[in-house]
Structure 1
Amino acid sequence: MVATVAFTELSGGNGCSLLSAAPAPDLAAAGYSDTEFAVHGFTVGRTADGPVQNAQFTTRIVARRPLDGTDFNGTTVVEWLNVSSGADGAPEYTYLAEELVRGGYAWVGVSAQYDGVEGGVGSVGLSHAGPKSLAGKDPDRYGQLHHPGDAYCYNIFELIGRQLRNTDTTAHPLAGLAVQRVLAVGESQSAMALTTFVTAFPDHTFDGFLIHSRAASQLPLGEVGTGIDVDATFSGNPVTIPDEVGSPVFIVQSETDVLTNFQFHRARQADTDRLRTWEVTGSAHADHFQIGQYEEYLGCPDPVNRGQQRFVLRAALSHLRIWVTDGTAPPHAAPLELADDQQTFVTDEVGNVRGGVRTPCVDVPTQILTGVVRNPVSRICLLFGATGAIEPGDLLARYGSQESYLDAYGAATANAIAEGFVLEADRAEVIADAHPELLGS
């Protein structure tokens, strides 16, 4: 593998193409830049049958970073961009953006996979009219991009992660920042890719991993000239993180991931000094925070999940940074409780799952929050879970008044912060997420 890659800033055309349905922090107001670069390199490849001929690539990255080096906390978060829609998205940035910006992180999204550059049909049932590839959509901006196939995606990700440490050139996306730590993050298909990366590519540059919403198995090794078939992951054997893993691995799972066809419960393993797993109660693989005002376009019969997974993920990132910095490991968490059949959850008196990482919306409930949809009408509706109503009369009987509910909710928020599952910086946003109006007047 070559030791370096070259970066060229992208401009013109229609601007940066990166799917997002949720509002993000005002980067300019926060003193951040938001730029996009072509990344040129030459790398080795590997399929399930072994090494393949080296190939050239030109992919892209999106870099969001503090302009002033004194505002940088030394940690660069590198997201394996998600291609489940057939185009690149940054779901982890959406969940983590508040913590990234207020904490002074740099974030880099990498088009590691073939479908992110060349386009694909996706795996979640969303259709896109017109050209699929970035170059086809916007030749003025992306005409130079070329991906040789997912036999090279793991090495492309490693190569870019390694080069992000070397910020001593003016053309570097992080020029002027003193990078001390590089963390890899990814959600859904990207989490499955990072699981493969951790297990099959142990000689890597990353100081830690946040693997969010993986399946029991891992993403296969790819082929030359095409993308990976993610469906093969759901029929694969369970994969656990090896004991000899060199860098801390933090796995965060939703209810959808533990059951449904993800079946992560088959790959559960005990925490170690290099592994933590948090399973978040009342969470789904994707949720209302991700889709926001576009919920109706999903076509799901019930409201999508409105859980508080975002707060837990922000806490997980903060813990991971501290873990790789000074060795202080994150708190342990109980798993979600499964019934004896290992295919259903044990639920409480209102219908929320027992166990797991607890947030105020499940400890002081006003809704039934689930990540497992019975007989979903589509793949996308399975992923987004559901939110069920509790009768106002039942809520009044439970809490007595809106004031008593808010007192209990505030106490649950304080407890989640004390336990380390929610950050103090998110207290006000968590409190604002309460729903006293559901009790009626």
Structure 2
Amino acid sequence: MTSRVVFTPLNGGNGCSVLSAAPAPDLAAAGYSDAEFAVSGSVAGVTDSGPVDAAEFTTRVIVRRPASTDGFNGILVVEWLNVSSGTDAAPEYSYLAEELVRGGYAWAGVSAQYIGVEGGAGSVGLADDRPQSLAGKDPERYGALHHPGDAYCYDIFRSVGSALRSVHDASHPLAGLDISHVLAIGESQSAMALTTYVTAFDADEVFDGYFIHSRAAARLPLGTVGAGIDVGETFGGATVTIPDDFAKPVFTIETETDVLTNFQFHRARQDDSSRRRTWELAGTAHADLFQIGPFEDYLGSPEPVNRGQQRFALRAALAHARAWVADGVEPPTAPALELSGDGDDAAFVTDEIGNVRGGVRAPCVDAPTQVLTGVVENPVSRIHLLFGATAQIEPAVLMKRYGSVESYLDHYRAAVDEAIAEGFALEADRDELMADAHPELVSG
């Protein structure tokens, strides 16, 4: 039985940011506060062998919220922080920050997994010699944190989500906000964890819906006591689908990398329903330039990383998820990315330029100036596989396709109009989408 969870402000020291290189809104200027809390309680655990004794935990939660009640839309978004780099990261916040802030959401990032608190080897080859535990990085601020192991991570996420939802008094991190609905979100390893949560643990009223971004065909394994989960065990694991009778909305968003490579999501494809929606995004990779920004060269990829526009589809998906859980308005449907063959022989069907057919279409693939892919041949590293690639198209080929820079811009503008009209991009992102056009590549 989970005990009552207690929040304590984390002060002192310098703190450890989870922000990526992606540009983010100025929270203070937008009327938002940004604070960290220690969160403590007792939770149940489970391993492959069955339940284990309850354990005490003290982990971290980051809360970014409207400072006043006026701008709050009623939705709390709880992100399962990602630990694939060996430390906590918030990839969903990075992709969604513009919509979160302008839309008036509250966001909380939970250090649910052992590695995020206690440190450990990441799965993407970014280890360094610095102390990886939060306490090792900043003992003054995080010295009291303790994680009992990933046998408890699922109940930690549930118990923290429940405590965030239940605003008791003025000391609560979300004091003053009237929370109507709570969305659980996570990307990559965290999406696999949410897949496990949905299919093995959700039997309560903590979360009203799930936003699962870049999962594999399999789900994250159950953990052990005193250690982290090896995400590598997910790849090649048994295919897991969302139960047909699952009562809450589950919105799954997949990139090209996730559909094929060793993620193999195509094996877990399901028809959409009133409680299940899947978008597969053309021209996207598991991670991209938006996430890494000026640090692209640090990755060591032999070719430019993917420069697709998944952030716009993700922001639209969040807006649809809000309407789905709050008002029962289902998101638009989209075709799957086109495949030839199946099983191990599955491959994308591409157009004459080289971009994949089908899926959610972004302006960069419907009015292309580059070949954008999430699947690279013979990746030299895990990072290379995850970040996909961008290939330039000869200006002469583009000029033959469009005839002029003005004609290209007309095509691109029409693609923006179509994406917004179909619900795969937001009107609020129109200017940013237009700024993402590349007329300089057409003119050479």
TM-score, normalised to structure 1's length?
0.99
Which residue number in structure 2 is paired with residue 349 of structure 1?
352
Identify the range of structure 1 (165-174 vs 75-84) with the bigger mean alpha-carbon deviation: 165-174
Deviation at 1:2, TM superposition (A): 2.8
Counterpart of 2:381, as a letter, is S
1:389 aligns with 2:392: yes
Deviation at 1:392, TM superposition (A): 0.3
Deviation at 1:203, TM superposition (A): 1.0
Which residue number in structure 1 is paired with residue 166 of structure 2?
166
Which residue number in structure 1 is paired with residue 108 of structure 2?
108
Deviation at 1:67, TM superposition (A): 0.3
Which residue number in structure 2 is paired with residue 229 of structure 1?
230
In structure 1, the residue corresponding to 2:429 is in which secondary structure? helix
Structure 2 matches for 1:84-233, cutoff 5 A?
A: 84-204=84-204, 205-233=206-234
Structure 2 matches for 1:14-53, cutoff 5 A?
A: 14-53=14-53
- Say if 1:202 and 1:245, in contact at 8 Å, map to a contact too: no
1:423 aligns with 2:426: yes
Q: Deviations over 1:99-128 (max 9, x none)?
A: 000000000000000000000111011112
Cα separation, 2, equivalents of 1:242 and 1:382? 30
Counterpart of 2:14, as a letter, is N
Number of matched residues?
441
Structure 2 matches for 1:401-412, cutoff 5 A?
A: 401-412=404-415
Cα separation, 2, equivalents of 1:64 and 1:154? 22
RMSD: 0.9
Cα separation, 1, equivalents of 2:180 and 2:404? 50
Structure 2 matches for 1:269-284, cutoff 5 A?
A: 269-284=270-285
Cα separation, 2, equivalents of 1:53 and 1:2? 12
Which residue number in structure 2 is paired with residue 323 of structure 1?
324
In structure 2, the residue corresponding to 1:71 is in which secondary structure? coil
In structure 1, the residue corresponding to 2:27 is in which secondary structure? coil
Deviation at 1:321, TM superposition (A): 0.5
Counterpart of 1:325, as a letter, is A
Cα separation, 2, equivalents of 1:157 and 1:33? 22
TM-score, normalised to structure 2's length?
0.98
Which residue number in structure 1 is paired with residue 335 of structure 2?
334
Cα separation, 2, equivalents of 1:55 and 1:212? 30
Deviation at 1:47, TM superposition (A): 0.9
- Say if 1:19 and 1:87, in contact at 8 Å, map to a contact too: no
Which residue number in structure 1 is paired with residue 365 of structure 2?
362
Instruction: Give unmatched runs, 5+ long, in structure 2.
Output: none
Identify the range of structure 1 (157-166 vs 349-358) with the bigger mean alpha-carbon deviation: 157-166
In structure 2, the residue corresponding to 1:95 is in which secondary structure? helix
Instruction: Give unmatched runs, 5+ long, in structure 1.
Output: none
Cα separation, 2, equivalents of 1:62 and 1:126? 23
Deviation at 1:149, TM superposition (A): 0.2
**4+ aligned runs moved over 3 Å, structure 1:** none
Counterpart of 1:164, as a letter, is L
Pick aligned residue for 2:437 from 434, 438, 441: 434
- Say if 2:6 and 2:40, in contact at 8 Å, map to a contact too: yes
Counterpart of 2:424, as a letter, is F
Cα separation, 1, equivalents of 2:228 and 2:246? 27
Deviation at 1:409, TM superposition (A): 0.5
Deviation at 1:150, TM superposition (A): 0.3
- Say if 1:19 and 1:88, in contact at 8 Å, map to a contact too: no
Cα separation, 2, equivalents of 1:403 and 1:5? 59
Which residue number in structure 1 is paired with residue 295 of structure 2?
294
Cα separation, 1, equivalents of 2:441 and 2:17? 39
Counterpart of 2:120, as a letter, is G
Cα separation, 1, equivalents of 2:183 and 2:252? 13
In structure 2, the residue corresponding to 1:39 is in which secondary structure? strand
Which residue number in structure 2 is paired with residue 268 of structure 1?
269
Deviation at 1:130, TM superposition (A): 2.2
Q: Deviations over 1:81-115 (max 9, x none)?
A: 00000100000000000000000000000000000
- Say if 2:22 and 2:293, in contact at 8 Å, map to a contact too: yes
Counterpart of 1:368, as a letter, is V
Cα separation, 1, equivalents of 2:216 and 2:411? 35
1:257 aligns with 2:258: yes
Cα separation, 2, equivalents of 1:16 and 1:175? 24
Cα separation, 2, equivalents of 1:245 and 1:75? 21
Cα separation, 1, equivalents of 2:127 and 2:23? 22
- Say if 1:339 and 1:346, in contact at 8 Å, map to a contact too: yes
Counterpart of 1:203, as a letter, is A
Cα separation, 1, equivalents of 2:43 and 2:12? 28
Deviation at 1:344, TM superposition (A): 1.1
Counterpart of 2:393, as a letter, is I
- Say if 2:3 and 2:43, in contact at 8 Å, map to a contact too: no
Deviation at 1:3, TM superposition (A): 5.1
Deviation at 1:19, TM superposition (A): 4.8
Which residue number in structure 2 is paired with residue 400 of structure 1?
403
Counterpart of 1:228, as a letter, is I
Cα separation, 2, equivalents of 1:115 and 1:128? 14
Counterpart of 1:217, as a letter, is A
Cα separation, 2, equivalents of 1:128 and 1:56? 30
